[in-house]
């Protein structure tokens, strides 16, 4: 599946579950974010932001998996929350109201890899090599992507 179709599948899955998505930000909003953090959104994440942009209610709303996808205006550097060395990681979703945070690694160079990680506060676990990979795992219900563990063992808070 290419990037537009994976985002279309995500949108369809959310619609089927009654999980409404947010209004996309403006081009100026995205440019301001990129300027503020000296990063560029990779094409797959930018497409997601420009079309789906998280849950309509943002933080605090949850899908059927207990995952809350944040609106673009709620995305921030993990270093801003924890004041540590996680400046390149940006939280974009959470599991069960911050039991863990899903974050994307952003850089100034969009050709660099953009890992998706689960940030549990003390540990960071890489769960996908791109936002597209994360969405594929999310849609497939892969426990390793959703919860950072074997799908057989199920979620934990």
Q: Which residue, among 128, 123, 125, 106, has the nearest Cα to 43 in the 3D structure? A: 106
137: phi then psi, degrees, rounded to nearest 5: -65, -40
Q: What pLDDT does residue 78 have? A: 75
Over 90: is that where the pLDDT of 122 sits?
A: no
Q: What pLDDT does residue 151 have? A: 43
Cα distance between residue 55 and residue 57, in whole Å: 5
**Residue 133 exposure: Cα atoms within 13 Å on the Cβ side:** 14
Task: Name the residue ranges covered by the structural domains of the chain.
Answer: 3-143
The CATH number of 3-143, from 3.40.1580.10, 3.40.720.10, 3.40.50.2300, 3.40.640.10, is: 3.40.1580.10
Q: How far does CA 86 lie from the centroid of its chain?
A: 16
Q: Please state the pTM of the whole predicted model.
A: 0.88
The chain-wide mean pLDDT, for the chain, equals: 87
Per-residue pLDDT tens over the stretch 22-61: 999 999 999 999 999 999 999 999 999 999 999 988 887 8
Compare 12 and 3 and report the one with higher pLDDT: 12
Q: Report residue 91's pLDDT band, with 50, 70 and 90 as the boundaries.
A: very high
Q: Which residue, among 68, 72, 108, has the nearest Cα to 88 in the 3D structure? A: 108
Give the mean pLDDT of 84-101: 83
């Amino acid at each position: 599946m290419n990037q537009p179709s994976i985002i279309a599948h995500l949108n369809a899955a959310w619609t089927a579950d009654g999980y409404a998505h947010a209004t996309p930000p403006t081009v100026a909003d995205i440019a301001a974010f990129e300027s503020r953090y000296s990063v560029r959104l990779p094409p797959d994440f930018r497409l997601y932001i420009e079309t789906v942009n998280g849950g309509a209610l943002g933080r605090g709303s949850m899908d059927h998996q207990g995952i809350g996808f944040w609106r673009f205006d709620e995305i921030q550097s993990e270093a801003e929350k924890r004041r540590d060395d996680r400046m390149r990681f940006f939280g974009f979703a959470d599991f069960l109201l911050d039991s863990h945070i899903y974050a994307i690694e952003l850089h100034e160079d969009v050709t660099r890899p953009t890992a998706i990680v689960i940030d549990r506060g003390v540990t960071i676990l890489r769960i996908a090599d791109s936002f597209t990979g994360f969405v594929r795992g999310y849609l497939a219900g892969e426990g390793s992507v959703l919860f950072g563990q074997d799908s057989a063992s199920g979620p934990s808070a």
